[in-house]
Amino acid sequence: MPRDIPADSVGIVTPNLASFEQPLPLRSGRSLPRYDLMYETYGELNADKSNAILICHALSGHHHAAGYHSEQDDKPGWWDACIGPGKAIDTQRYFVVSLNNLGGCHGSTGPTSIDPETGERYGPNFPIMAVRDWVKSQARLADYLGIDCWHAVVGGSLGGMQALRWSIDYPARLKKCVVIASAPKLTAQNIGFNEVARQAITSDPDFHQGYYYQHNTLPKRGLSLARMLGHITYLSDDSMRDKFGRDLKTGKLSFDYGVDFEVESYLRYQGEIFSDKFDANSYLLMTKALDYFDPAADHGDDLSRCLNQSQCDFLVVSFSTDWRFNPSRSKEIVDALVRGQKSVSYLEIDAPQGHDAFLFPIPEYVGIVSGFLAKPSQGLSS
């Protein structure tokens, strides 16, 4: 049955594929001989191409950020709550570009793609991408679309790291930078969680050192575990209490090793559906990009110095119950920008949803983001 598309939706959207035949040199020293980027756009690019906003995705994200792919589609894009007519990122004013990053598994070149040098899937040989590599590929997408300067680059979590990297590597190509629920680098605890996820995947006997395609297997158990663990860290203790508490699945304790609590059932289900649709090699790659991100490392661990060339206005947003990237991590970015006398606004939103809060249209958050995007830019003369 066709769904009623809500009035504040961007409606039915069709992904596009852009192909790049020029090699992309990478942080690792390797290079991609050629690549494709899958992307979507929402809204209209204006005549002087000054209203374009780039959306950067997080660990398990992709190009499909808003709208529906068909009338039968049961779920909209992953950030539909914040992108659309009248929403935080208003498609009546802005031309929004959202892509699947290299190394992903939703249409852009990644581990499941054919390596032109071997004629086989890249698999585990796909180069590890650094955030700067993604940003470079995104800059080429901007060239392809004829966009010299983004009105804004926006991202949450790993997406926020890309937004920050834009301001460092292409200071003249964005007017505004929105860094949400992010961090200037991961802590040992963050890396530890990622390492458990990677070990879950690579120790799955169906992983076959990443050559599972050739073995007609998928490391579903490991990927499912990785997702279950990730999911816990995206939620707050409070939100899990509100959502599940100690509610029992069947009303009583089993006294066997089956499912007792609702939260167990929920996590298993989340792991199961994720492991059906995400590529394990992509998951490993995304976690490494997170771990490796540390732009200040090239500048004597001085983030302020690292951001010295940035010219854009910054908005940094954190959420009170986000313990994966807690507000103090956002404040590190803000402190570095303030020390560098950059234009920066900071907002800590009181929200119960934990790290996932950035996906929700929390009124204060929507108001600040839309206001920041609308106001004349200060940092860069246009």
Binding site for substrate: what residues are annotated? 227, 356
Least distance between a second copy and beta carbon 302 (Å): 15
Task: Return the structure tokens found at 28.
Answer: 């690792």
Q: Is 375 in the site for a second copy (CB under 8 A)?
A: no
Residue 217 per-residue DSSP state: -
Of 53, 235, 337, 347, the residue at the interface with a second copy (CB under 8 A) is 235
Strand partners, 114: 121
Token match 């158990």: residue? 221
User: Which one, 158 or 267, has the nearer CB to a second copy?
Assistant: 267
Is residue 213 part of the contact set for a second copy (CB under 8 A)?
no
Closest to 275 measured CA to CA, from 355, 196, 201, 199: 201
- With CB under 8 A as the contact rule, the residue among 57, 63, 93, 198 that binds a second copy is 198
What is the number of alpha carbons within 13 Å of residue 35 lying toward its C-beta?
31
- Dist. CA 253–CA 248, nearest whole Å: 7
Distance CA 287, CA 191 (A): 8
Specify the DSSP element, H or E, that contains 47.
Answer: none
Q: Any alpha helices (H) in 295-362, and if so which ranges?
A: 303-306, 327-339
Stretch of residues binding a second copy (CB under 8 A), selected from 38-46, 81-89, 225-233, 314-322: 225-233
Does residue 351 bind a second copy (CB under 8 A)? no
Shortest CB 213 distance to a second copy, Å? 17
Is the Cβ–Cβ distance between 111 and 104 less than 8 Å?
no
Contact 283, 111 (CB under 8 A): no
Candidate residues 141, 240, 338, 380; the one interacting with a second copy per rule CB under 8 A: 240
218 binds a second copy (CB under 8 A): no
- Burial class of residue 42 in the structure, from the number of CB atoms within 10 Å of its CB (0-12 exposed, 13-18 middle, 19+ buried): buried
- The nearer residue to a second copy, 3 or 30, going by C-beta atoms, is 30
362 Cβ contact list (under 8 Å, min separation 6)? 349, 351
Should residue 221 be labelled a site residue for a second copy when binding is judged by CB under 8 A?
Answer: yes
* Helix ranges (DSSP H) in 62-214: 131-145, 158-169, 188-202
DSSP-assigned letters across all residues of 80-93: TTTEETTSSEETTT
* Helix 220-234 with 280-292: angle, nearest 10 deg: 40
Which of positions 157-196 make contact with a second copy (CB under 8 A)?
185-189, 191-193, 195-196
Burial of 294 per CB tally in 10 Å (0-12, 13-18, 19+): middle
CB 236: neighbour CB atoms within 10 A?
23
Q: Which of 28, 46, 92, 309 binds a second copy (CB under 8 A)?
A: 28
Q: How far apart are CA 111 and CA 34, in angstroms?
A: 13
Residues in region 95-124 near a second copy by CB under 8 A: 124
Contact between 140 and a second copy per CB under 8 A: no
Residues in contact with a second copy, shown as a per-residue x/- string from 30 to 69 under the rule CB under 8 A: x---------------------------------------
Q: Which of 8, 294, 335, 348 binds a second copy (CB under 8 A)?
A: 294
Q: Which of 157, 167, 318, 330 is flagged as catalytic?
A: 157
Q: Which of 9, 322, 330, 377 is catalytic?
A: 322
Q: How many residues bind a second copy (CB under 8 A)?
A: 56
Q: Examine residue 253 and tell whether it contacts a second copy (CB under 8 A).
A: yes
206 catalytic per annotation: no
Q: Does 229 bind a second copy (CB under 8 A)?
A: yes
Judged by DSSP in three states, 317 sits in strand
Which stretch, 85-93, 217-225, 306-314, 340-348, contacts a second copy (CB under 8 A)? Answer: 217-225
Is 157 assigned a catalytic role? yes
Q: Look up 203 and say whether it is catalytic.
A: no
Known catalytic residues? 157, 322, 355
- Contacts to a second copy by CB under 8 A: 27-30, 124, 127-128, 185-189, 191-193, 195-196, 198-200, 202-203, 205, 210, 221, 224-225, 228-229, 231-232, 235, 237, 240-241, 243-246, 253, 255-257, 260-261, 263-264, 267-268, 271, 284, 288, 291-292, 294, 323
